């Protein structure tokens, strides 16, 4: 396999890892919206802009890293729908793990 093809696989992994994190951010925003509706308070009172910024930074760093590591096992193989879903899941869960560690350490 030529280096450009391998780089294409890695770029796919990076992209899908970031997509996994974006899905995670969307779910978090939905949970916050639902909580505000239940408590009958303004969404801004529960919305943490700092946490959103941290999540976006994590999306680029960790989501991309998890996706690029996850795609290594697929280099040279056909990319199927299952592969794409697996790589998105790697980005989602890898980022969830790292952010959980950061939250526990109160960074």
Q: What is the torsional sign of CA 63, 65, 66, 67?
A: positive
Q: What are 77-86's pLDDT values in tens digits?
A: 999 999 999 9
Digit-coded pLDDT (tens) for 17-65: 889 888 888 888 888 888 888 888 887 777 778 877 877 887 778 888 8
Q: Where are the domains of the chain?
A: 3-104
Q: What are phi and psi of 105, to 5 degrees?
A: -85, -5
The pTM is what? 0.78
Rounded to an integer, what is the distance from CA 28 to the centroid of its chain?
Answer: 12
């Amino acid at each position: 396999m030529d280096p450009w093809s391998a780089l294409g696989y890695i770029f796919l992994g990076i992209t899908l890892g970031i997509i996994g994190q974006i899905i995670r951010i969307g779910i978090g925003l939905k949970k916050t919206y639902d909580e505000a509706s239940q408590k009958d308070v303004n969404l801004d009172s529960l919305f943490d802009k700092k946490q959103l910024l941290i999540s976006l930074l994590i999306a680029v760093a960790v989501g991309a890293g998890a996706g690029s590591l996850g795609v290594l096992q697929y280099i040279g193989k056909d990319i199927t729908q299952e592969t794409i879903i697996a790589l998105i899941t790697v980005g989602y869960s890898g980022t969830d793990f790292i952010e959980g560690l950061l939250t526990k350490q109160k960074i």
